[in-house]
Structure 1
């Protein structure tokens, strides 16, 4: 009899523990410090992990920024009364995704004033919680290359904050180059950087970076032609972290091209 009572009590505790755990499921984000490109669209990640397809009427989502209502979804539809004027027509959730616990917010045509901390709150039959997301805004663009008469030129039309430019040979040697920065009336920097590249077949990397964004562009010269591609990395916790990560990536690229 005592054994049955103990088992019964343990079962009740287990049921209560599972119910409590479910009701306090953690709302998460795949990126709590995104860097948006000014004038472009940015998706702010927010989701409640669940394996259950929920009824939309059971899900409530609220996005706020410093007390301002960015977007709200409840009773199976957007509830935009009281939405801050600066977000009208620019903020959007996706109903199909909401039903699976995904409350990510699409913020269109990002402005510099959009920078700041956002709070995403989810309440549903699968759990509830909130997560804070620090949106940062920068301006960045990929580099394009030209090769003529032994001169390799990289151009990038939109950068802010002010970037630094470094050239490197595929062997890992840092190269001397000439870089000119000009600014528009809006304070956006454009870049033209030139490098002496006499070899008819060689690969170089042009690294453009500031404290938020780093672009590493690879340029491969074949005869009179040049081809290239750019990948971006964004600072996560600090510029030191980003620097270590990018130095590692650059070393790996150099190793790849020399093997």
Structure 2
């Protein structure tokens, strides 16, 4: 009888633990689905100097049918005491805005009711890099998210054939980039490359790949620690060159997705 009692006791304990775990799981899933979160589609963007950059920030809720009300948005930068941007009570509130952001920042009021508080930063400067905090408060909830903006300079190279050498020229790079070449099979090739600092404070690249063949394709990669421009250059029979370039963020471009796809998608979402 004692053995049977122990079996019944331990069975009941096991059932209690199982049911407790199920209840905790159900509550966790319910809380996760119902609780709004402030998110970003790109928490580590790389902005091109002199170009506009969209810093993504939105309130993700389980219900998108109802429009939000009483939406307040504050953008800050962790190394600044002044604000980057603030929108409150249906209008911008820029009394405490840092001077370097004057006339260079905006949100899109028509998008706030759907929870989109993304910030447009115009004409990015090298001093704009840093960790930004987006804070949303609304009738549907709120929260914060951090976005680590890195400022760089990059451009697509142009190609031509001079003699029997395939030349790549690109200006306006920062940080200082490296250049590598490969053939159609991915084998590395040697090239004559110069990287020079320009008067504008950015680097210009000139690289020549000697002894190229007609009807062949070569890959030129210009890459800094933040951005890579990977170009496929095809030399035609008449030694004209056609090329396509994709930009990648990060030090290992072969492992990353094209950058401009994310930029275009974000801009379309803002203006739709």
Q: TM-score category by the smaller chain?
A: 0.7 to 0.9
Q: Is the 8 A contact 1:46 1:105 kept in 2?
A: yes
Please list every run of at least 4 consecutive aligned residues from structure 1 whose deviation after the TM superposition is greater than 4 angstroms.
17-22
Given the alignment of the two structures, is residue 245 of structure 1 paired with residue 255 of structure 2, yes or no?
yes
State the 1:52 CA deviation.
3.4
State the 1:139 CA deviation.
0.9
CA 1:21–1:199 in structure 2 vs 1: closer, same or farther (change >3 Å)?
closer
Given the alignment of the two structures, is residue 169 of structure 1 paired with residue 179 of structure 2, yes or no?
no
Residue 116 (structure 1) aligns with: 130
Q: Say which SS state the counterpart of residue 30 (structure 1) adopts.
A: coil
Return the TM-score normalized by structure 2.
0.77
Residue 73 (structure 2) aligns with: 61
State the 1:32 CA deviation.
0.8
Q: Is the 8 A contact 2:117 2:136 kept in 1?
A: yes
Q: Say which SS state the counterpart of residue 37 (structure 2) adopts.
A: coil
Within 2, Cα distance between the matches of 1:209 and 1:148? 24
Given the alignment of the two structures, is residue 39 of structure 1 paired with residue 50 of structure 2, yes or no?
yes
Unaligned 5+ runs, structure 2: 1-25, 259-272
State the 1:107 CA deviation.
0.3
Within 1, Cα distance between the matches of 2:174 and 2:167? 20
State the 1:148 CA deviation.
3.1
Unaligned 5+ runs, structure 1: 1-13, 250-259
Q: Is the 8 A contact 2:228 2:253 kept in 1?
A: no
**Can you list the C-alpha shifts for 1:4-47, whole angstroms capped at 9, x where unaligned?**
xxxxxxxxxx99x979975x521000111111111111110100
Larger radius of gyration: 2
**Alignment match of 1:145 (pick from 154, 159, 170):** 159
Residue 105 (structure 1) aligns with: 119
Residue 83 (structure 1) aligns with: 97
Give the aligned length: 227
State the 1:74 CA deviation.
1.6
Q: Say which SS state the counterpart of residue 117 (structure 1) adopts.
A: strand
CA 1:35–1:202 in structure 2 vs 1: closer, same or farther (change >3 Å)?
same
Residue 159 (structure 1) aligns with: 173
Residue 228 (structure 2) aligns with: 214
**Can you list the C-alpha shifts for 1:77-115, whole angstroms capped at 9, x where unaligned?**
212222111101000111122121111100001111111
